[in-house]
Amino acid sequence: MKVLVTGATGFIGRKVVGRLQEAGFDVRVASRRPERLAAADDAVLLPGVNAPDEAFLALMRDVTHVVHCAALNNDRGASEADYRAANAALTGRLAKAAAIGTGGRFIYLSSIRAVAGPGFSGTINEATPPAPQCAYGRSKREGEIRMLEAFRLAGRAGATALRLPPAYGEGMKGNLRGLMRLAATPFPLPTAAFTAVRSLISHDAVAGAVVHLLTRPMPPRPTYVLGDASPVAIFEIIRAFRRGFGIPSRFLSLPARPFRLVATLLGRQASYEASVATQICDPSLLISEGWAPEADTFDRLRDVARQAAQAR
C-alpha cells in the first residue's frame, strides 16, 4: 500500500515518513519544493490551494491512505487569511480528493488549539467543546470540519484529526525551543513562574499513532486527543533540558504573587494567566484502541537537550 504524506520535510513529517517505511508502506511525499526531496523515490508537487481539482486528484493515483502533516504553524506570525488558506482550505481540497480517489484513511495532524486557547485550564479530551481562541486554532478547527465534511459528502468513513499538544524532539520549534534556550542559560529561575502543568507529546509518538491508525482493522474515530502518558510542570521541562545540557537546575523558591502583580501593572495579565494555565490532554481513547504513548517524558526531553548540545 502507498501512503501520501504532505509536509514530509517538517519536524513531525520526517518522523512519519520514516515510521511508515519501517512498517513496510510505500510512501509518496508531496511538497511545495519537491526538488529538495531528491532522495525520495516518489516526490511530487503539492498543489496550491487554488489549483484545479485535477491537480489534487493526480496526487491520489495508486495511493491508499493520506497523512496530512503540512501546515502553517502557530509560530509564524501569519494573518488569519494565511492560516485559513494553508490549514483549512488546503486541507479541505486534499480531503475531497482523497475521499474520491483513495479507498483508505485520511489522517490530519491538528492541534489542541482547535479546541482551547492558551489560557484554558483543565483537561482536554475528545468531548471537550471546541472553542479556539486564535487565528491558528480557528484555522485548524475549520480544517477538521472541512475534512470530515468531504468524507461525509462522499459517503465515506476513515477520516480523523489528531489533536496534538506541543510536540518535542530533535528540531522542535515554538515555545518548547524557547524553553530549551532559556534552560541553556546559567541564570537562576524562580520556580513559581513555571508551575503550570502541561501535556506534551514526542514526535516519535505522533508517528507511532499514525502507523497504528493505518494498520488497525477498525476505522478511526473522527478525532483523537494525543499526549504523553504523564503531563509535566514547566519547571520540570526546564530541569530536564538543563540536565541534558549538564547544567544545575538552579531554581529559586519565590512566591507567585509578585509575578502576578508585575504582569497586571504592565497590562500583561492575559499573558500571565496563559503562562500559569494547566492543560492536560487525555489520550485514553486511543490508548484503549491499542496505542502506546511515551511513558518517560522527562528522560526524552533530557535526551533532546543532550543531542542539541552535542550538535553545537
pLDDT in tens, 276-298: 678 999 999 999 999 999 999 99
How much is the pLDDT for 34? 64
Residues with Cβ within 8 Å of residue 280, at least 6 apart in sequence: 122, 123, 124, 197, 198, 199, 227, 231
Average pLDDT score, the chain:
89
What is the rounded CA–CA span in Å between residue 61 and residue 73? 28
pTM: 0.91
What pLDDT score does 291 carry?
A: 96
Neighbours of 31 (CB within 10 A): 21
pLDDT tens for 297-309 read 999 999 999 998 8
**pLDDT of 52-84, one tens digit each?**
999 999 999 999 999 999 998 876 678 999 999
Asked whether the predicted pLDDT for residue 275 surpasses 80, the reply is no
pLDDT, one tens digit per residue, over 4-37 is 999 988 889 999 999 999 999 999 999 877 666 6
Span 217-274, pLDDT tens digits: 999 999 999 999 999 999 899 999 999 999 988 887 756 555 555 555 556 555 556 6
Cβ neighbours of 229 (radius 10 Å): 14
114 with 148: CB under 8 angstroms? Answer: no
Grid cell in block for residue 160: 480523523
Average pLDDT over residues 164-179: 90
Distance CA 151, CA 97 (A): 10
CATH architecture of 2-168+201-227: 3-Layer(aba) Sandwich (3.40)
For the chain, which residues make up each domain, given as ranges? 2-168+201-227
